[in-house]
Each structure stands twice: as structure tokens, then as C-alpha cells.
Amino acid sequence: MLVSFRWLQELCPVDADVAEVARRLSLAGLEVEAIEEKGANLAGVVIAEIRAKSPHPKRDKLTLVTVFDGEDELQVICGAPNVPEPGGRVLFARAGAVLPNGMEIGLRKIAGVESNGMICSEAELEIGTDAAGIFVVDPGTDALPGTSVADALDLHDVILDIGLTPNRPDCLGHVGIARELGVLFGQGFKPRKAAGPRRSFAAAGAFQAGEPTSKLAPLWDNESEAVDTPKLPAISLEIADGDRCPRYGAALVSGVRIAPSPFWLRYRLHNLGLRALSNVVDATNLILLEWGHPIHAFDLARLAGPKVVVRRAAEGEKMATLDEVERRFTEDDLLICDANGPVAVAGVMGGRDTEIRDETSDVLIECAYFNPRSIRRTSRRLGLHTDSSHRFERGVDPGAVPRVLASASSLIAELGAGAAATTAIDRIAKPIEQTSIRFRPARAAQLLGTPVSKEESFDILESLGCRVAPEGDEALIAEVPSWRPDLRREVDLIEEVARVRGYEEIPTAVPRVHPSEAGTSGLLKFVDRLREAAMASGLYEAVNYGFVSIDDLRKARVSTDAVPLANPLSEERSVMRTSLLPGLTAAATRAQRRGATEVRLFELARTFRPTNETLPRESSVLAITLAGEHAGWIGGEQSFDLYDGKGVIQAILSRAFGRAPKLTIGEVPSFLHPKRSAIVTLASRPIGFVGEIHPDVGDDLELVGRVIYAELDVELLYALSEELGPMQARGLPKYPAVTRDIAMLVRDEFSAGEIADALRDAAKGLAESVRLFDLYRGDQMPDGHRSLAFRVTYRDPEGTLTDKRVDKVHASLAKLAGDRFEATIR
């Protein structure tokens, strides 16, 4: 939230500079993320008086202007259509000045005529958004030529960018931040009363008799001139749903003239991130920024009928909002209506048909308190997040309605030269009970680890706006103010005491650790070992949300029988994931689209499946994704394939517990390519799968290129590690090895792995390894056959092998291949 330091000082003057204020706010939990000084970057820009003007001799749309900058008369060429007559004053950048946008002003010729400086618009000086013409100084501004523009227009301010947490809606306005300053600097704070308008009228004829009203006049500091009551339609109010709208107020301002706002108001809104529109609309925005309480202005002449009704929508009811979009509502949406139908979405946005226009004369001001949950649901369903809904869905101050109405009606009357009604509708449909909390200083001391006295606690809670009364000798009863909906429990008050005292006052102490007798579980240690092995194998860990959308699961061809969330963050995070595939491949794609050419990711996380029990079934999974291209063996780049996935899995499992997995042909998930995937086995047991993602799935998930994906069952791996025992280190061999190659022609139905295992078993313990090093298919091979070549490494741990012994064993392997696999030895 953007906050004006100058405005804060107007509301609650404190004897501290902006740096100290920012420090104190940050330490109290209102983090000041950035500080920007305004008006300090306009050196060389001054007030200048127009002395003469004439058309440019060669360019029709340009004007030769003579200005006096307090020192000299200078000739300037201006292309704006609104150059004032002689005597008018403008904002002039002298030669050598540097504008906020980085433009350096100098002497230059335009169509053969020299221009000495520049007459500026407010957009060029970044003091507003109007770029249609130059800034013409208001005749009432008391500033001589040569006066710095920052001094003449009073531009000096400092803007604080405060990062608010959702539990502090009271600080979504300058009054709330000023109240916080008063507490932190120990000087208290009282909101100033609205200065009454110069003109007012009795509203007896404007509000129907019998409606509960509250007089606004006592909230005004000065007497106002009474004018004749204008002829206005009598207005009444009906709140059909008191649970959704416990309090609703309305005030009237008559005879306003719609016009641009004065510069001070436009400048303040600009600094705080809002665009100026007209005096009435800008007034509502200023009230929003001051009080943190949204209001809305209706054109009274465009409201049909004498009654304003706050009710829930009929199913399918429609209305066009201020953004020119026709909205369709459900029975769960709260609307503000007139006799013809809805005129505003309560707490979210007004309607197009009753907006303030140039011809508006009479304004009805709405100020209400709506149920936060109701506003949040409507805002999310409509996809319409506004400054208004942002505050209402967090909780505004219901007790501030009369004061906000008084401020709003007075300000609009002043800016629009209108008259404000002296009374207003203020209907409380459902009283909002104040929360009372029992506070025990002893409990606070126990939680904070430092002594907390009853007297200090009393003073701090009272400074926060609580009504505090003692309860015996050991406790206090604090009635929470209406602007603090976040204070609900004793621990909330304890946190407030710690915050106001200063978190830095809490002593730092290292807590005693009582180790568990059982220690860290074996599964957690195994998971850590897997994680370290994956990183050592060249993979980067990804951490994704455990929530996905049903559409993500459907596109990935994984189970859509998912656990739904009762209160999802969004539609994209509405169910718990049944697979790590959608999140991990999406992370890989994001990396590729941001320039990564080689993506190696893994995720160790849980998936969730619904059960008939209270809690879902959770499974721990190690998922791996390889995407993009990597360096090939003989130069160039090549895409990742199945064998790259196999290599990564072998590296991980070999590092984790010293055993290499094998790939076998089997049934794999439907999201994998049927010809480029395999089952991963360890000790002849399936533990997962690896393969290339099917092209159709890749298209649906918008993947980039060929993507390899693998999943391993972590709990099954852990059970196998326990069963197979810890890794056993072997000593270096004492005797040399002997290698022999064996090549054979064999039918395709026999896998290379199956043949290698058989050869190893037939070697009677002498085959240290059997490795496939060549596979050949071609026209010279019979149909359904291929040539396989294996390299067998023989070694006897007890002694040196002789050629005769090796030849005998090797011959038995050839015989086995022929007998068992019908192979032809080549």
C-alpha cells in the first residue's frame, strides 16, 4: 500500500523524520518496502509568465512563446493547443534541466527557429497523467516567475510503500496508519472531525419519515450556511439481508457541478497510484485512501423509485458494471438495487447506469459494512478484484460509517460547490457485537519469555483503542475496537503488547533441546539420502504446489479421482495432486521458455488419493524430468531419450544404496510413449517407470520438445533397502580380469537383459560383468532377428585365471545361448 508521509503528519504529527517512522513501522509489523521522495527531482523547472505568443512562421501547429522565468525573457516553441494568453503562468524547464523521465533540456532549432527551454505538461514532470496539453498554473496560486515548481505547487512529499499482511485491514487507509503511529510514538491519536461544508440543507424532505437517521451536523467543526431544501425524491432504505449487510448509511449532496479536481487532489491521488477522473469521483477515492473505507457515489437522478434495497440477487440477474461488462449473478451475490433492479455489486463495483456523469447534479453517497465472506465469494466468482473489494473482504470498520459519511458529504459539497444534507440514513440491520477478551499478564510473560506488568499492559491495550477494565488482581478485560477485526483471542492481545513494546525487547535465548529416544526415523534418513543422490547425479530439486486443477490431471492422463479442497486458492489449485507429472513438467516448460536449454529436475514429494477414511492416502514419490538438449558423445546437441533417463536412475540408486536397477518391458502409464518406455526393477521387483512422454500428452500440457519422465516409489525403495541390507564395500581385486566377446543372432522376442542375466548365471561365479556393447539390425538379418554382442569380464577372486579355464567357461555360455535362446553364434 502506498502511503503519503505528509498526509500522515497532517493526521498525526510526530517528531521524527521519515527514516525513523519507516523503521518504527517496520519493527511493528508494517514493513516499509520502499521509500520514494517526490518533488526533489525537478531542479531547473520553475514558474514562468507568458509575455507574448505568435504562430510559428513555418509550422501551423507550433506556437512561438516568449516567457519570463524570473531572470530573462526567453523564446520557446510549444506544440500544445492550450498556451494561455499573456499574463498566464506555466511550468518552464530551463536549458540544462533534466526531467524525471531522463530528458535533458537544451537549446535547439525547430524549423529554423531557436527554442530556449521547454514548457511542460504534468505528465512530462510526472506530477500527473494529463499529457493533452501543457500545465497552466491556476490564477489563484501565489507564485512569482522564477519560483521552483516544487515550492510553488507544494510538491514535496515522501511516499512509503508498506507491505500489509491480510490481518491488518485497519491499516488500509491513512487514518489507520496514523493511529498506529500515535501508538508507536506514545502520543495517542483521534481522527479529526469532518470540516462542515459552506452550505447545507435540512434533509427532512429527502429521507422518508420513519427511517432511522443520525445527524451529521455534530461531526462538523464549523457552522454552514443553510440553503433552501432542494426538491428531491424522498429516499428510503430496505436491508433484506442483515447477515450480509449489517449496516448501511447514505447521505445526500445537492447542486454539485462536475468538473476536474483541483491540482492538490489530483497530485495526491497520482502519488498514491490512482487516476483523477472528476471532482466527485476523486473525492470518493480520497475518502477511501484516508479512511480505508470504500464509499460509492450514485447519480440520484438515475435511481428509479424512492427506495434503495440491499438484497441478494435472483439467479441469472444481470447488470452492466462501471467497466462496461455485463455481469450475470447468482443467488449468493449481494446487490444494491432500485425499483428497476440492481445498480451496484455490493462492496465490489458500481453500475454503469447510475455512475457520475458530466450532467450529474444530485449525489447519493453510500457507506456501508458488508460481510467479508460474502464480498470475497462474489469478487472471486466474478473475477473482479477492486480497491473496494480488497478492503471489504478483509473487514472495514463498521463503527466508522457516520464519520466517513460526514467526511464524504462535506468534501463532495466543497469540491462540487453543492450543499450537503444535515442528516443521513444510518440503518443498523444487525448489531455487531464487540469482542471482549480476558488478558493475563502472567500468560503474556510466559509466552514472550520476558516480564509483562499489568500496568504496562493496561496502557498499551488502551492506546490501541481497547476499552480496558481490571478483573481482579491478575487479569484485564479488553473490549476490542471495531476497527481491529483481527483481535479475537488472548494470544492476539499478547502479540499486540509485544509488537508495541518492540520485538527487539524480547531477550534472545537458545532453547534447550530434548532429543527423542527414537531419533530420526529410518524413512526420513532414506529420503534425505535419495535427495542427496539425486543432486549428486546432476539434478536440481523442484518444489511445487500440492494443489492442482482437475483439468491439469485430465491433460496429463493421470487419475482424476482427487481429493477436493473445501476452500481452494483458485480454480487452478482446487484439488490435491494424484501425480507429480503436471507440476514437474510445467516447471520444466517454464524454465525452457525463459531460456534454459537443458533442464534436469527432480521432486521428492507426496501424492494424495481419496479413501473411505477421514484422511486421504499419501504416497511418497521421487519424480524426474529431463527436457531440452544435452551435449552428444560426438559433438553437437541431442535431445534427451529413454537411455538418459535410465542412466540418471542408475546413478541415483547406485549412490543411494549401491545397487543398480534394470529396465524391463511391461505395462506403463498411458501418458508415456508405448515404444519408448520401460518398467524400472530392483532385485527383480518393479519400483517405478521411465520413458518419453506421449506426444499427445505433450501437446495437451504444452511441453517443449521431447520430455523424459520417471517415477520411483520411495516407500517401496525403502522397504527393499531394509530387506537387502546396507551397502557392502568390496576390496580392490587382487587378480587380473580376462575379457571375451560373444556375438549372436537371436530372435527379437528375447530381450538383451534376459540373455545377459542367463550368461552371468551360467559362468559359475566367474563372470564379473556381462555388458551389451553392440546391437545391429539390417537387411542382412532375417526378419524378426537382430545381432547382439556382449562383452563378458571374467575374474576369479581366489587366483589368476588361465586361458584354458576361461575358454571352457566361455564355450558353455555359447552353448547355453544356442540351447536356451535358439541363438546362432557368430
Instruction: Flag whether 190 is in a domain.
Output: no
DSSP string, 625-652: EEEEEEE-TTSSEEE--HHHHHHHHHHH
pLDDT digits (tens, 9 = 90+) for 316-357: 999 999 999 999 999 999 999 999 999 999 999 999 999 999
pTM > 0.75: yes or no: no
Instruction: Flag whether 511 is in a domain.
Output: no
What pLDDT shows up at residue 659?
79
Pick the more confident residue, 305 or 712.
712
What pLDDT shows up at residue 214?
47
Instruction: Flag whether 352 is in a domain.
Output: yes
Q: How crowded is the C-beta side of 183, counted as CA atoms within 13 Å?
A: 24
Query: Parallel, antiparallel, or unpaired for β 785-794 and 767-776?
Result: antiparallel
Distance CA 633, CA 666 (A): 29
365-369, 500-504, 771-775, 782-786, range with greatest mean pLDDT: 365-369
Distance CA 602, CA 542 (A): 6
What pLDDT shows up at residue 658?
78
- Beta-bridge partner residues of 163: 31
What pLDDT shows up at residue 505?
86
What pLDDT shows up at residue 210?
42
Among 741, 721, 745, which Cα is nearest to 794's?
741
Among 599, 709, 700, 703, which Cα is nearest to 649's?
709
Instruction: Flag whether 194 is in a domain.
Output: no
What pLDDT shows up at residue 630?
86
Q: What CATH number is given to the structural domain containing 144?
A: 2.40.50.140
- Domain's final residue, options 377, 410, 428: 428
Helices H / strands E in the chain, number of each? 20, 42
C-alpha cell at 702: 504444452
What pLDDT shows up at residue 218?
43
What is the gyration radius of the CA atoms in the chain, in angstroms?
39
Distance CA 92, CA 118 (A): 6
What pLDDT shows up at residue 259?
96
Compute the average pLDDT of residues 202-218: 50
Pick the more confident residue, 465 or 207.
465
Compute the average pLDDT of residues 152-160: 95
Among 332, 293, 287, 296, which Cα is nearest to 312's?
332
Instruction: Flag whether 193 is in a domain.
Output: no
Q: What CATH number is given to the structural domain containing 558?
A: 3.30.930.10
- Which of 61-65, 236-240, 647-651, 719-723 is least confident? 719-723
- The domain in which residue 77 lies consists of 45-155
pLDDT digits (tens, 9 = 90+) for 306-319: 789 999 999 999 99
Residue 240 falls in which region: left (phi positive, over 0), alpha (psi -120 to 50) or beta? alpha
Q: What residue spans of 120-238 are helical by DSSP H?
A: 149-152, 174-184
Q: Within this chain, do residues 252 and 388 fall inside the same structural domain, yes or no? A: yes
Q: Within this chain, do residues 529 and 647 fall inside the same structural domain, yes or no? A: yes
pLDDT at 95 over 70: yes
pLDDT at 22 over 80: yes
Q: Within this chain, do residues 388 and 413 fall inside the same structural domain, yes or no? A: yes
Q: Within this chain, do residues 220 and 275 fall inside the same structural domain, yes or no? A: yes
What pLDDT shows up at residue 655?
87
% of the chain exceeding 90 in pLDDT: 72
Instruction: Flag whether 288 is in a domain.
Output: yes
Q: Write the single-letter amino acid at 376.
A: R
Q: Within this chain, do residues 234 and 316 fall inside the same structural domain, yes or no? A: yes
pLDDT digits (tens, 9 = 90+) for 360-377: 999 999 999 999 999 999
- Beta-bridge partner residues of 66: 52, 75
pLDDT at 634 over 90: no
- Domain's final residue, options 428, 455, 474: 428
A 10 A CB-CB count for 184 gives: 20
What pLDDT shows up at residue 217?
40
Compute the average pLDDT of residues 702-715: 92
What pLDDT shows up at residue 204?
52
Q: Within this chain, do residues 767 and 821 fall inside the same structural domain, yes or no? A: yes
Of the chain, the end-to-end C-alpha distance in Å amounts to 80
Q: Within this chain, do residues 654 and 799 fall inside the same structural domain, yes or no? A: no
**Max CA distance (Å), the chain:** 126
- Domain's final residue, options 428, 447, 468: 428
Among 73, 353, 340, 370, which Cα is nearest to 247's?
370
- Which of 25-34, 193-202, 544-553 is least confident? 193-202
To which H or E segment does residue 631 belong? Answer: strand 617-631
% of the chain exceeding 70 in pLDDT: 94
What pLDDT shows up at residue 730?
74
pLDDT mean across residues, the chain: 90
Distance CA 691, CA 673 (A): 7
Instruction: Flag whether 451 is in a domain.
Output: yes
Q: What CATH number is given to the structural domain containing 789?
A: 3.30.70.380
What pLDDT shows up at residue 468?
96
Q: What CATH number is given to the structural domain containing 492?
A: 3.30.56.10
pLDDT at 207 over 70: no
Q: Within this chain, do residues 274 and 230 fall inside the same structural domain, yes or no? A: yes
Q: Within this chain, do residues 96 and 6 fall inside the same structural domain, yes or no? A: no
pLDDT digits (tens, 9 = 90+) for 597-623: 899 999 999 999 999 888 899 999 999
pLDDT at 223 over 60: no
Residue 480 DSSP one-character state: P
Angle of CA points 16, 18, 22, to nearest 5°: 100
What pLDDT shows up at residue 504?
87
Distance CA 204, CA 210 (A): 11
| pLDDT category of residue 753 using cuts at 50, 70 and 90 | confident
pLDDT at 512 over 80: no
Among 690, 703, 706, which Cα is nearest to 629's?
706
What pLDDT shows up at residue 209?
41
Q: Within this chain, do residues 557 and 622 fall inside the same structural domain, yes or no? A: yes
pLDDT digits (tens, 9 = 90+) for 277-304: 999 999 999 999 999 999 999 999 999 9
pLDDT at 390 over 80: yes
φ and ψ at residue 228, rounded to 5 degrees: -60, 140
What pLDDT shows up at residue 215?
45
Q: What CATH number is given to the structural domain containing 332?
A: 3.50.40.10
pLDDT at 216 over 60: no
Q: Write the single-letter amino acid at 597.
A: T
Instruction: Flag whether 512 is in a domain.
Output: no
Angle of CA points 253, 259, 265, to nearest 5°: 85
Q: Within this chain, do residues 242 and 359 fall inside the same structural domain, yes or no? A: yes
Compute the average pLDDT of residues 109-135: 93
Q: Within this chain, do residues 762 and 625 fall inside the same structural domain, yes or no? A: no
| pLDDT category of residue 809 using cuts at 50, 70 and 90 | very high
Look at the chain and report how many structural domains it folds into: 6
User: Do 275 and 387 contact (CB within 8 A), yes or no?
Assistant: no
- Which of 202-216, 225-239, 557-571 is least confident? 202-216
What pLDDT shows up at residue 228?
66
What pLDDT shows up at residue 219?
41
| pLDDT category of residue 225 using cuts at 50, 70 and 90 | low
Among 319, 416, 322, 402, which Cα is nearest to 363's?
416
